[in-house]
Amino acid sequence: MSLSAEVRKSASRLRTWVMLGLVALLPTIFAFGTRYGDRGDRGRPDAGDAPFFLVETLRNGAGVPFVALVILSSFLLPLVVAVHSGDALGGEAAGGTLRYLLVRPVRRARLYGVKLASVTLFAAVATVVTLLVGLLWGAALFPTFRPLAIGSAGAPRLVPLGAWAYSGRAAVAGGYVVVALVALGSIGLLVGMLTASPGAANGVVIGALIAMQIVNQIDALRRVHPLLLTHWLMEWTNVLQAPVRWQPMLKGVVCFVAYIAGLTSVGLWSFQKRDVLS
């Protein structure tokens, strides 16, 4: 059992391409909408509380990849990762192919590991698609595509990013989002294995996502907020501060890695103990 066989299998499924198509579609809609939509506010955007780069993006194509990531990382990327991870073991069990993989034999720990790698790869591809499609339309549609100028909220001095700094920050942001998505995907992988039902697994992931978002809004539960994935989900936007605010991102990564390690340990242990009756 190798990751490449797993990738061939995913690539042969229409659903994989539909999900990546959706991921590509949203930044496209945003880019076209911003460029050709109602121009009443253009050049005079209502800054409000919006992060600075959102304001900048309305004028500068170089900001589009980051806006795309803001839009997608809060829901669509978690959603497609939920579907993929729920199906990873849940789909094999529901379809009966799990028992045939295990008797080939593929060791259970290895199968679990390959599936986790497949979830990671899918999350990475979806994130890269988001950024690249944003970059493509930002460069192709927007009248200006110049170094993205960033600054701390409230600080008037803006620093334009050089090409390396720009792509470096995009990579860090993407990497952060991928780790967050893998943490969510670990839930789908585990629940899919336990329930032998891909639908149940991705329902649990989406449910967990929504529940964590709600709890994260309740001030009285402030103490548990740092334990929630969603609390840290958008912290990657700190790469658009000058200088980068690493601390909240590091905390977020610690939280994600703890989820991945914890859920994967439980999954491996329980998969090993389990009677495969599907």
Least gap, CB of 12 to another protein (angstroms): 6
Nearer to another protein, 10 or 28 (CB): 10
Collapse the DSSP code of 218 into the 3-class scheme (helix H, G, I; strand E, B; otherwise coil) and give the result: coil
Tokens 């991921």 map to which residue?
Answer: 23
Q: Which whole-number Å values give the CA distances from 226 to 186, 200, 216, 249, in the listed order?
A: 18, 27, 9, 12
Structure tokens of 49?
A: 């509380």
The closest of 209, 16, 205 to 118, measured between CA atoms, is: 16
- The CA R_g of the chain, rounded to the nearest whole Å, is 20
Footprint on residues 91-130 left by another protein (CB under 8 A): 95-97, 99-108
Footprint on residues 155-174 left by another protein (CB under 8 A): none
The count of chain residues that interact with another protein, using the rule CB under 8 A, is: 27
Neighbours of 248 (CB within 10 A): 15
CA distance 86 to 40: 44
Helices (H), 196-245: 198-217, 229-233
Residue span 130-149 as binding mask against another protein, x where in contact by CB under 8 A, dash where not: --------------------
> Which residue among 12, 38, 46, 163 contacts another protein (CB under 8 A)?
12
Nearer to another protein, 1 or 128 (CB): 1
Residue span 244-273 as binding mask against another protein, x where in contact by CB under 8 A, dash where not: ----------------------------xx
The closest of 164, 203, 241 to 83, measured between CA atoms, is: 203
Least gap, CB of 18 to another protein (angstroms): 13
- The span of 11-19, 148-156, 166-174, 262-270 binding another protein (CB under 8 A) equals 11-19
Least gap, CB of 4 to another protein (angstroms): 8
Q: Is residue 17 involved in binding another protein (CB under 8 A)?
A: no
Supply φ then ψ for residue 148, to 5 degrees: -70, 125
> Which residue among 2, 217, 247, 270 contacts another protein (CB under 8 A)?
2
- Residues in contact with another protein by CB under 8 A are 1-2, 4-5, 8-9, 12-14, 95-97, 99-108, 272-273, 275-277
